[in-house]
Amino acid sequence: MDEYVCHFDASHYDKRGGLSGCAFYVTTGGTTLFKYVERIKLPSCDQAEKHALYLTLDYIGRNIPKGSSVRIYGDSESVIAPLLRNKKSREKIRLLYNETAANYHLTLTRVSRKKNKKAHKLAVIKNNAIENNSASINNNAIQIYNLVKSNTKMNFKNRIYAESKTIALDKVIIPWNIEESKPKAAKYASRLAYYQKNGSVFKDIIVDEKNRLLDGFISYLILKENNIREYNVDVYKKMI
pLDDT, tens digit, 9 for 90 and up, residues 60-73: 988 899 999 999 99
Looking at the chain, list the stretches that DSSP marks H as alpha helix, in order from N- to C-terminal side.
Answer: 45-63, 77-85, 92-103, 117-123, 129-132, 139-151, 176-179, 185-198, 217-225
Last residue within a domain, chosen from 98, 117, 151: 151
Beta bridge partners of 154: 160
Do the beta carbons of residue 118 and residue 36 sit within 8 Å? no
pLDDT band at 83 (very low <50, low <70, confident <90, very high): confident
Beta-carbon-side half-sphere exposure of residue 12 (alpha carbons within 13 Å): 16
Say if residue 79 is in the same domain as residue 191. Answer: no
Residues 53 and 139 both lie in one domain: yes
Specify the pTM.
Answer: 0.55
pLDDT for 114-150, tens place per residue? 999 999 888 885 444 433 333 334 444 444 444 444 4
Read off the pLDDT of residues 201-235 as tens digits, 9 standing for 90 and up.
888 888 888 899 988 899 999 999 999 999 988 88
Dump pLDDT digits (tens) for 181-193: 888 888 899 889 8
Decide if 137 contacts 35 (C-beta within 8 A).
yes
Q: How far is CA 169 from the centre of its chain?
A: 26
- Judge if 167 and 111 occupy the same domain: no
Predicted pLDDT at 96: 85
Q: Of 48-57, 89-98, 165-174, 223-232, which gets the smallest average pLDDT?
A: 89-98
Nearest to 200 by CA among 180, 222, 184: 222
Q: What is the CATH number of the domain that holds 114?
A: 3.30.420.10
Q: What is the pairing mode between strands 3-14 and 69-74?
A: parallel
Query: Same domain for 28 and 104?
Result: yes
The domain of 184 spans 159-238
* Rounded alpha-carbon distances, angstroms, from residue 71 to 27, 47, 56, 132: 10, 21, 11, 30
Residue 106 has pLDDT above 50, yes or no: yes
